[in-house]
Amino acid sequence: MVVTTSRQATPEQERLARELAARLGLEFRQRRGAWRQLGASAALVVTRERLVIQSPAGEIFFHPGMARPRIRQLERGKPDVMVEAMDLGPKDSVLDCTLGLGADAIVASYVVGEAGRVVGLETVPVLAELVRRGFREHDPGHAGTRAAMRRIEVVTADFRDYLAQLPAGSFDVVYFDPMFRDPVMESASMRPWRELACHRPLSPEDIALARRVARRRVVVKERACSPVFEELGLSTVTGGRRSRVAYGAVPGLGTVSACRAGSEAGRASEHGAPGSREGARS
Ligand SMILES: C[S@@+](CC[C@H](N)C(=O)[O-])C[C@H]1O[C@@H](n2cnc3c(N)ncnc32)[C@H](O)[C@@H]1O
């Protein structure tokens, strides 16, 4: 992959393209003609409006995807299956280990609000950069969604390395949405992403790493009825009745600090959940 600009670029576009190339350890190539004439397998293109990855499979640019309609549903008081699987509420902290295009992280950030925290990890540097910039600059035309996007912290990292160096109990929820073994549907728009993304499957060791870091629970999204839930020891599986995806959860093992425990108990009673919130679900 190389970094370039769109045709007839401004000096500012070229400056940004050179800066990104240096940061990502990629070569900058001056744009002349179509991107395919650059002689590279793919190109990160700085256009006037946004970053675009061009590849033979198609193009990728940041967009909030399903986050906007999901947030609209939440505003109407309708449930969101992921939010329910996480038992998420205001002030919570979420570590999204597989950020992707970030739709799930945006919904989580909207729910946890200003007093909460969402950190998103993406192991493919060019994808992380695309989404980091999208969160910062894209205008979704909705104040709550915009604020939710701006608050997310994007980290370029493999979740295994990142989880291993975190203190126990660092986040309320640790979340995984890995690339499915069998994609639900091979939409043309997702094909370029699938080609660049990391496909390594989750292992029981990954879940153990995540449980140490999670105070409340670890949540994994997978195809509905996937054997992965059982293989990873995720007992509590939730999903819409007609949904093609489901969420498996397992309690976190991280300890809740005294101060945090107070606010957790307060929130649990706000939700009307009796006793242990984990127990109430499983
Ligand atoms: C299915 S996508 C996530 C989609 C995301 N939940 C959303 O709402 O857009 C999975 C993403 O996780 C990334 N990924 C896979 N393994 C990873 C790892 N070990 N560490 C960090 N990111 C990883 C992939 O590169 C891919 O971009």
Q: Is residue 60 part of a domain?
A: no
In a shared domain, residues 110 and 31: no
In a shared domain, residues 172 and 267: yes
In a shared domain, residues 161 and 192: yes
For atom 16 of ligand 1, the residue with the nearest CA is 198
In a shared domain, residues 99 and 73: yes
Give distance in angstroms: CA of 178 to centre of ligand 1.
5
Q: Is residue 55 part of a domain?
A: no
Give distance in angstroms: CA of 111 to centre of ligand 1.
21
In a shared domain, residues 98 and 137: yes
For residue 206, the ligand 1 atom closest to its alpha carbon is 19
Give distance in angstroms: CA of 193 to centre of ligand 1.
10
Q: What is the pLDDT of residue 128?
A: 98
Pocket of ligand 1 (CB under 6 A): 97-98, 100-104, 121-124, 127, 158-160, 177-179, 197-198, 200
Phi (first) and psi of residue 39, to 5 degrees: 75, 30
What are the residue ranges of helices labelled H in 166-281?
191-196, 204-213, 228-231, 258-271, 277-281
For atom 27 of ligand 1, the residue with the nearest CA is 100
For atom 20 of ligand 1, the residue with the nearest CA is 158
For atom 11 of ligand 1, the residue with the nearest CA is 100
Give distance in angstroms: CA of 51 to centre of ligand 1.
19
Best residue for ligand 1 mutational test, from 62, 99, 174 (most atoms within 8 Å of Cβ): 99
In a shared domain, residues 122 and 11: no
Containing domain of residue 19, as a range? 2-49
In a shared domain, residues 36 and 92: no
How confident is the model over 70-104, as pLDDT tens digits? 999 999 999 999 999 999 999 999 999 999 999 99
For residue 159, the ligand 1 atom closest to its alpha carbon is 20
Q: What is the pLDDT of residue 186?
A: 59
Share of the chain above pLDDT 70, in %: 88
Among residues 117, 15, 140, the alpha carbon closest in space to that of 67 is found at 140
In a shared domain, residues 38 and 72: no
Task: Lay out the sheet containing 27-28: strands in order across.
Answer: 27-28, 2-5, 43-46, 51-55, 58-60
**What is the rounded CA–CA span in Å between residue 2 and residue 41?**
8
Q: Is residue 148 part of a domain?
A: yes
- Beta-strand relationship, 93-96 and 171-176: parallel
How confident is the model over 20-57, as pLDDT tens digits? 999 999 999 999 899 999 999 999 999 999 999 999 99
Query: Tokens 């670029």 identify what position?
Result: 9
Lowest mean pLDDT segment, chosen from 131-145, 183-197, 211-225, 265-279: 265-279
What are the residue ranges of helices labelled H in the chain?
11-24, 67-75, 81-86, 103-112, 125-137, 143-151, 159-165, 191-196, 204-213, 228-231, 258-271, 277-281
In a shared domain, residues 127 and 197: yes
Best residue for ligand 1 mutational test, from 61, 109, 123 (most atoms within 8 Å of Cβ): 123
For residue 197, the ligand 1 atom closest to its alpha carbon is 25
For residue 124, the ligand 1 atom closest to its alpha carbon is 25
In a shared domain, residues 140 and 39: no
For residue 221, the ligand 1 atom closest to its alpha carbon is 6
Read off the amino acid at residue 276.
Answer: S
In a shared domain, residues 132 and 191: yes
Which pLDDT band holds residue 191 (cuts at 50, 70, 90)?
confident
**What is the rounded CA–CA span in Å between residue 10 and residue 8?**
7
Residue 206 belongs to a domain with what CATH number?
A: 3.40.50.150
How confident is the model over 228-277, as pLDDT tens digits? 999 999 987 787 677 888 999 999 998 754 444 444 444 433 333 322 33
Lowest mean pLDDT segment, chosen from 140-149, 161-170, 204-213, 264-273: 264-273
Q: What is the pLDDT of residue 243?
A: 81
For residue 103, the ligand 1 atom closest to its alpha carbon is 8
